[in-house]
Amino acid sequence: MGAHSIKTSSTGRRVAAAGLLAAGAAVAGSGTAAAAPVTVDVPVELRLPGVPTQVTVDLPEGIALPAGLQQAAAPVQEFATPAPEVSTGQKILDAASTRVGSPYVWGATGPNSFDCSGLTSWAYQQAGISIPRTSQAQIGGGTQVAKGDLQPGDIVAFYSGASHVGIYAGNGQVVHAPYSGTSVSYAPLDSMPFYGATRYY
């Protein structure tokens, strides 16, 4: 009788346990379907005090941002390319070059007509440099430059006694106001007898 009672009791426990397992499986299955984890990539900006960190992820189409989160547009950084710095000598040459075609007039210092030293003094003035007025005084001042060391903007003197001056333009050329009846123009450096050169910058 006691054995029968134990057997019945044991069977009852096994049946009850099986019932519980089945119920648990149903609940677990139901819970898994209802609360399955969903991963969503959301573009968010995390702001932490004292930490300049920004985390941004892609947001798929049709997915709304969770409440309390705001989408932050990524900042666009623009870098301006600095303009190349123009040397003083180049500024002087550029100024003289703008006068090409202007007539030679003895004693004229521009801006519409020039004699040789009038052109050089005017071009230097455009670069903020004041130099003597006459060709002899111009070549006698500044820093003397050898013919092989000429740079654009240097004053070059020609003929005996430095009776004529021009501005070295590079590549073996000078820009100058030649003589009456001509106009400001370029000429080969070696087309006139070289006297000397000087630099005021």
Task: Please check whether residues 61 and 153 belong to one and the same domain.
Answer: no
Annotated catalytic residue 176: yes
Task: Please check whether residues 169 and 140 belong to one and the same domain.
Answer: yes
Residue 173 gets which letter from DSSP?
A: E
How high is the pLDDT of residue 3?
A: 44
The model's pTM: 0.60
Task: Please check whether residues 56 and 98 belong to one and the same domain.
Answer: no
Task: Please check whether residues 95 and 143 belong to one and the same domain.
Answer: yes
Domain assignment present for 12: no
Annotated catalytic residue 164: yes
Q: DSSP characters for 34-55?
A: HS------------BTTB----
Task: Please check whether residues 103 and 51 belong to one and the same domain.
Answer: no
- As to burial, measured by CB atoms within 10 angstroms (0-12 exposed, 13-18 middle, 19+ buried), residue 134 is middle
Annotated catalytic residue 4: no
How high is the pLDDT of residue 126?
A: 97
Task: Please check whether residues 68 and 116 belong to one and the same domain.
Answer: no
Task: Please check whether residues 159 and 100 belong to one and the same domain.
Answer: yes
**Distance from chain centroid for Cα 63:** 40
**Parent domain of 113:** 88-199
Q: pLDDT truncated to tens, each residue of the chain (201 aa)?
A: 444 443 434 444 343 333 433 334 333 444 444 445 555 555 555 555 665 555 565 666 766 666 655 555 556 566 677 778 899 999 999 999 999 999 999 999 999 999 999 999 999 999 999 999 999 999 999 999 999 999 999 999 999 999 999 999 999 999 999 999 999 999 999 999 999 999 999
Long-range contacts of 184-189 (CB under 8 A, 24+ apart): 184/96, 184/99, 184/100, 184/101, 184/102, 184/103, 184/104, 184/114, 184/119, 185/100, 185/101, 186/100, 189/150, 189/156
How high is the pLDDT of residue 61?
A: 73
Considering 93, 95, 96, 116, which one is annotated as catalytic? Answer: 116
Domain assignment present for 120: yes
Considering 115, 135, 165, 176, which one is annotated as catalytic? Answer: 176
Q: How many domains does the chain have?
A: 2
Long-range contacts of 66-75 (CB under 8 A, 24+ apart): 66/42, 69/42, 69/44, 70/44, 70/45, 71/43, 71/44, 72/43, 72/44, 72/45
Considering 127, 150, 156, 164, which one is annotated as catalytic? Answer: 164
Strand ordering across the sheet containing 143-144: 143-144, 194-199, 155-158, 164-170, 173-176, 185-188
d(CA 127, CA 73): 47
Domain assignment present for 33: no
